Amino acid sequence: MKYSLSSLVAQTLNGHKHWKRVLADAKPREKYDAIIVGGGGHGLATAYYLARKFGMANVAVLEKGAVGLGNVGRNTTIVRSNYLLAENVAFYDHALRMWETLERDLNYNVMVSQRGVVNLYHTDPQRDAFARRGNTMRICGADAELLGLERVRKLLPFLDFDNARFPILGGLVQKRGGTVRHDAVAWGYARAASDLGVDVVQNCEVTGFEISGGTATGVLTTRGTIRAPRIGLCVAGSSSILAQMAGFRLPVESHVLQAFVTEAVKPLIPNVITFGAGHFYVSQSDKGGLVFGGDLEGYNSYAQRGGLNGLADVVESGMAIMPMIGRLRLLRSWGGTVDMSMDGSPIMDRAPVAGIYVNAGWCYGGFKATPAAGLSFAHLVARDMPHEIAAPFSLDRFATGHVLDEKGQGAQPNLH
Ligand SMILES: Cc1cc2nc3c(=O)[nH]c(=O)nc-3n(C[C@H](O)[C@H](O)[C@H](O)COP(=O)(O)OP(=O)(O)OC[C@H]3O[C@@H](n4cnc5c(N)ncnc54)[C@H](O)[C@@H]3O)c2cc1C
């Protein structure tokens, strides 16, 4: 079914009784050309591009719960390409360009809002670092502009400019960055993939692998054995668990990251703002709630919930730049399990077991990557060769030393 003004008017006149089911309730078959494990943004996007761009529609996405309940529906919805390393800027800017046309591609409103992302800076050395990052972005074809104090004050007059513990000196803005309605991305890709013939199988947990002569030939699931010569893993925080089931290890750790949303208020924050002297990022949802988050909880866990210490840390950072946030009531908080890699950059490569492909290590930032990650992972699964934009994200870079340490933190996953 195509969504359009005329279909909306026709359905309204018919009392909205004839909308077609958005997603077919697929039953798993015994054999496919490819299996994608994980019905989050990356798994669904991969399946969509396999069918759409690589002519592979005999594909199953196996999701242990319902699509959209993983990190894709738990993140703070920020999309941007304001990275320092050229490899990351090129990849994430490719994703940003894909977001710009995604709604038309999927015929689905994912509420792409290029409202801009402002990174605040608070010291002279930080200004210099941001200038360097902005220059790299521009050299790589992304947009960036360094703002002085007066322009930030004009843009965001509600910030604390006069009495702050960490005085704001200016900001680096990426105007094409912004937010996208996160769970709609899962639904849009699921519907589009399903329309192209992909089986999106929900409530189907992968519990093991069928491996013969060192090559994976299928997966064991709660709904029986399903076979395919190519198996793509897109399970985010569960990547290490699936790798262990298949008999290899990944250089990732699973950590909890929380997000928070306040009661709705009138339009206040026009874009996404990040605090430069701590870890805090905030935007305002279309419903009016302030959506914000900060650092990891700081310990390894597969739980999709955090604690009050995480909340206290995030709120403290929020109060440091906009004290009036302290007068808002918190409506909800939730956690997601993020797969932190050793250098803070993702992994998209063939696994050490033939027939398995890995899409993992997205840390805090895999939502904004979704379209480009889906496209390049589909390329890898279909052609057994990395897509050029994802070639730097190889698994062997940790052995060869070609790491992409965006923050320069070293092998400290909790600090990336
Ligand atoms: C609180 C929070 C805030 C974030 N904010 C941002 C942000 O603002 N911007 C940004 O770019 N990124 C952000 N991220 C990161 C981003 O959400 C993730 O990197 C990205 O969503 C991961 O890819 P995914 O969508 O495929 O993951 P998921 O949606 O987690 O998909 C993985 C799926 O695999 C399924 N699965 C796991 N094990 C199995 C199994 N054995 N069998 C079958 N299925 C299985 C899970 O149920 C899940 O649905 C945030 C993450 C969190 C938690």
Enumerate domains of the chain plus CATH numbers. 5-14+27-75+182-251+343-415 (3.50.50.60), 113-177+253-341 (3.30.9.10)
**Ligand 1 centroid to 341 CA: how many Å?**
14
Residue for token digits 């206290």? 312
pLDDT of residue 56: 98
CA torsion sign for 260, 268, 286, 329 is: positive
Q: How far apart are CA 51 and CA 196, in angstroms?
A: 6
Q: Whose CA is nearest to atom 48 of ligand 1?
A: 70
Residue for token digits 């200038």? 131
Q: Whose CA is nearest to atom 4 of ligand 1?
A: 75
Most ligand 1 atoms within 8 A of CB, residue of 75, 274, 333 to mutate = 75
pLDDT of residue 33: 98
Residue for token digits 């070639």? 391
Give the nearest ligand 1 atom to 77 CA.
Answer: 8
Most ligand 1 atoms within 8 A of CB, residue of 364, 376, 406 to mutate = 364
Give the nearest ligand 1 atom to 337 CA.
Answer: 53
pLDDT of residue 70: 97
**Ligand 1 centroid to 392 CA: how many Å?**
22
8 Å CB contact between 339 and 302? no
* Closest by Cα among 87, 112, 64 to 234: 64
CA dihedral 73→239→272→327, nearest 10 degrees, is: 70
Alpha helices in 62-109 (DSSP H): 86-106
Tokens of 338: 């993020």
8 Å CB contact between 47 and 38? no
Residues with CB under 6 A from ligand 1: 37-43, 62-65, 69-72, 74-78, 205-206, 234-236, 238, 242, 257-259, 293, 336, 338, 362, 364-368
Q: Whose CA is nearest to atom 35 of ligand 1?
A: 38
Give the nearest ligand 1 atom to 205 CA.
Answer: 42
pLDDT of residue 2: 78
Q: Whose CA is nearest to atom 6 of ligand 1?
A: 75
pLDDT of residue 304: 92
Tokens of 196: 């192209």
pLDDT of residue 4: 87
Give the nearest ligand 1 atom to 69 CA.
Answer: 49
* Closest by Cα among 317, 253, 271, 338 to 74: 338
Give the nearest ligand 1 atom to 42 CA.
Answer: 26
pLDDT of residue 230: 98
Q: What is the pLDDT along the chain (416 residues), one digit of tens a residue?
A: 778 899 999 999 999 998 888 888 899 999 999 999 999 999 999 999 999 999 999 999 999 999 999 999 999 999 999 999 999 999 999 999 999 999 999 999 999 999 999 999 999 999 999 999 999 999 999 999 999 999 999 999 999 999 999 999 999 999 999 999 999 999 999 999 999 999 999 999 999 999 999 999 999 999 999 999 999 999 999 999 999 999 999 999 999 999 999 999 999 999 999 999 999 999 999 999 999 999 999 999 999 999 999 999 999 999 999 999 999 999 999 999 999 999 999 999 999 999 999 999 999 999 999 999 999 999 999 999 999 999 999 999 999 999 999 999 899 998 88
**Ligand 1 centroid to 73 CA: how many Å?**
8
Measured in degrees and rounded to the nearest 5, phi and psi for residue 147 equal -105, 140
pLDDT of residue 3: 83
Q: Whose CA is nearest to atom 5 of ligand 1?
A: 75
Give the nearest ligand 1 atom to 367 CA.
Answer: 11
8 Å CB contact between 35 and 60? yes
**Ligand 1 centroid to 337 CA: how many Å?**
7
Strand, helix or coil for residue 346? coil
**Ligand 1 centroid to 184 CA: how many Å?**
14
Most ligand 1 atoms within 8 A of CB, residue of 199, 235, 242 to mutate = 235
8 Å CB contact between 191 and 108? yes
